[in-house]
Structure 1
């Protein structure tokens, strides 16, 4: 599999993972993005790829930055990637606690 195919596969799998985490169907996600009901299915099946603008809309829908969206490309077995995934699952209240803790341990 060449590099471009690996990126395309990652993109499809990442959209599927984020969609599953949020508990939204492909059909519903498509409609909420203002597209036809089969739009996301056409991406996840490999029939098409989103434009850059639509990819940014997908990221905005899931409230992830481009860096967060593509973080798994750098290696899914790293501690940083594992912690990033856990942080995504935390509530805002818990994120505040983590932020305070990080501030405390990084003070010189």
Structure 2
């Protein structure tokens, strides 16, 4: 992933989390403009800070670089919600998802 992609991805993930660059910078123990500097392609984080960024965003480094069509945050939230359901509810949802996936091309 190129520097521009890294910076854009950070901006997208931070925005998705709904936090300001300043708040994120301070939460990471950095100066108030740190994340802004990264997002404006003026700096890149050290590997240690990158891991802290991933932890702050509640994602893995792999998820940070996964820019596929699936929204990792949304999928994670769905999985968290599934953990609150009964086995019967999960089986019903599984059937619905299977039906939707099977009919993907016909909708």
The TM-score normalised by the length of structure 1 is 0.69
Equivalent residue, structure 2, for 1:69: 64
Question: Structure 2: which 5+ residue stretches go unaligned?
Answer: 99-107
Residue 84 of structure 1 deviates from its aligned partner by: 4.0
Equivalent residue, structure 1, for 2:33: 38
Q: 2:42 aligns with which of 40, 47, 58?
A: 47
The TM-score normalised by the length of structure 2 is 0.70
- The number of equivalent residue pairs is 90
> Is residue 27 of structure 1 aligned with residue 22 of structure 2?
yes
Q: 2:78 aligns with which of 82, 90, 108?
A: 90
> Is residue 16 of structure 1 aligned with residue 11 of structure 2?
yes
- Greater CA radius of gyration, 1 or 2? 2
Counterpart secondary structure, 1:15: helix
- Does the 8 Å contact 1:30/1:37 carry over to 2? yes
Question: Structure 1: which 5+ residue stretches go unaligned?
Answer: 1-5
RMSD: 2.6
Which one scores higher on RCO, CA 8 angstroms, separation ≥ 6?
2
Change (3 A) 1:85 1:62: closer
